[in-house]
Amino acid sequence: MSNINIQISKKVFNESFLPYLNNTSRYLVFYGGAGSGKSFFIGERYVYKMLVQQKFNLLVVRKTGKSNRDSTFALFKQIITRWGLYKHFKINEGDLRIKCLLNGNEIVFAGLDDVEKLKSITFSKGELTDVWIEEASEVLESDFNQLDVRLRGVGTKKQIVISFNPIDINHWLKKRFFDRTDDNITIYHSTYKDNDFLDEDYKKLLESYKETDAYYYDVYCLGMWGVLGKTVFDARKINERLQHIPEPMKIGYFSYDYDGLRISNIVWHNDKNGYIRLYKLPNTPVVTKYCIGGDTAGEGSDYFTAHVLDAATGEQVAALKHQFDADQYAKQMYCLGKYYKDALIGIEANFDSYPIMELQRLGYYNQFVRTKVDEYTGKTEKRFGFRTTMLTRPTIISRLIEIVREECESINDKDTLLELLAIVRNEKGRIEAPEGAHDDNMMGLAIAHHIREQVVFDNEPVLANMERQFSFERAEEEYGEIGSTITVI
């Protein structure tokens, strides 16, 4: 069978797909745009494996049995015929089975419209070794779990291949295979540009969408993550930025000593599974001024977020997203603020003001100050933290919409960009994340940009600086001057 390997590798497969011909990852994910050739490659790959691999049995599934018959089953017949191998296979049209007569390997085609029926599928020789889920975006996660559980056993290495077009960024597929690190997952993204055999007229058709419908071109032709409905933020700019974003310089978290009153001996720890991503390290000595916008876990969310900006340029230099208790979040924000040269911190005060008060108790006084008018006395009072209201929310989001449109290159964090891509207007016109998604990064980044105007630069007039000093003076009277050291490892 070695001759088959050489001939097929050089003359049949798209060259860009060849590295995945013999991949053995538990989960092999092919996603991308229309015309990429991913499904055809998968079909070719399985015909090849039917010929050269011992003890190979494949289950091919789609949402319904009829869709499987009209697509994948027909695809396999086409490949077998094209390769001139029809005499080596028995193709049963009635029960959708294909058997290799050389070694007894089999393929069974079924729909997920009857998951219980899948449990009774057997093979004449050996057990199930492989599953291909075509158009996986149509499949429920619960159905995937049933297949995953069935593909167990010792001996032969098992694999699930998943193929789909990434139309909906909020789909369970993204959360399960793209939003986490797992050595058992291999992912390959392809577009029509990777298809060596694509008809030139079809290429021209796809490329025509660049001018007529840019969003359709990005999502359906280039296979970028999209949303069902109209996005609020400029999807084209976000997708362009996603192609050029930098890798974090550091990923990790802070540890520290805490005596019940003060934080000291702050240490940065590198950890690939950490929840803080640093894209630019703070300038030393102090040259750049920084600000940090934070969104607390409130109604409809269980994440705390923070975004560190270069206050002068607006560039995102660090991002935090994690599930915390409020006191843990406050302490990480304290460390993050100290790390970025006593950055101005502005945390949303709506659902949980504890992190704001905790920062103040810990001796972190460089916090965003808002004004509040007492309705009874008419006096103007000042408070720490950002308050989201019917007036402030649309204002800061509108500013962020402008930043994404005009300065998208200032956003470095992939998780943030993907969240922004998913934000839509609901039926009442309110800007929000769809059901099951979150807007924590959006709000944290919007707050960060809003508070930039309150950062004091060395060349600002003295009166502008005085307005900021009241909070420091009041805090120092109560707590005294506090200092911390930071060690980066």
Question: Would the pLDDT of 2 be above 90?
Answer: no
**Taking all residues of the chain, what is their mean pLDDT, rounded to a whole number?**
86
Burial of 109 (0-12, 13-18, 19+ CB in 10 A): buried
Question: Would the pLDDT of 378 be above 70?
Answer: no
Q: Which residues pair with 97 in a beta bridge?
A: 92, 108
10 Å Cβ neighbour count for 60? 25
Residue 459: pLDDT band (50, 70, 90) is: low
Q: Looking at 226-235, 250-259, 434-443, which range is the least confident one?
A: 226-235
Question: What's the whole-number mean pLDDT along residues 247-256?
Answer: 97
Question: Would the pLDDT of 166 be above 80?
Answer: yes
Question: Would the pLDDT of 415 be above 70?
Answer: yes
Q: What is the pLDDT, as a whole number, of residue 1?
A: 45
pLDDT tens digits, residue range 425-435? 766 667 877 77
pLDDT tens digits, residue range 126-153? 899 999 999 999 999 999 998 998 887 6
Q: Looking at 31-40, 95-104, 220-229, 305-314, which range is the least confident one?
A: 220-229
Q: What is the pLDDT, as a whole number, of residue 461?
A: 44
* Cβ–Cβ < 8 Å for 51, 12: no
Question: Would the pLDDT of 416 be above 80?
Answer: yes
Q: What is the pLDDT, as a whole number, of residue 458?
A: 55
Question: What's the whole-number mean pLDDT along residues 5-24?
Answer: 78
Question: Would the pLDDT of 471 be above 60?
Answer: no
Q: Looking at 86-95, 380-389, 447-456, 466-475, which range is the least confident one?
A: 466-475
pLDDT tens digits, residue range 188-197? 999 999 999 9
**Between these two residues, 93 and 12, which has the higher pLDDT value?**
93
**Measured distance CA(123)–CA(108) in Å, rounded:** 9
pLDDT tens digits, residue range 345-370? 999 998 778 999 999 999 999 999 98
For residues 207, 210, 214, 219, the Cα torsion angle rounded to the nearest 10 degrees is 20
Token pair belonging to 314 = 């607006």
Q: What is the pLDDT, as a whole number, of residue 489?
A: 41
Q: What is the pLDDT, as a whole number, of residue 301?
A: 62
pTM value is 0.66
**Between these two residues, 337 and 113, which has the higher pLDDT value?**
337
Q: What is the pLDDT, as a whole number, of residue 167?
A: 77
Question: What's the whole-number mean pLDDT along residues 274-289?
Answer: 88
Q: What is the pLDDT, as a whole number, of residue 430?
A: 75
Question: Would the pLDDT of 472 be above 50?
Answer: no
pLDDT tens digits, residue range 55-109? 899 999 998 878 888 899 999 999 999 999 999 999 999 889 999 999 999 999 9
Question: What's the whole-number mean pLDDT along residues 462-479?
Answer: 40
The residues, any chain, with a CB within 8 Å of residue 441's CB and separated by 6 or more, are 295, 305, 307, 319, 321, 413, 415, 416, 419, 420
* Cβ–Cβ < 8 Å for 122, 151: no
**Measured distance CA(305)–CA(358) in Å, rounded:** 16
Q: What is the pLDDT, as a whole number, of residue 37?
A: 94
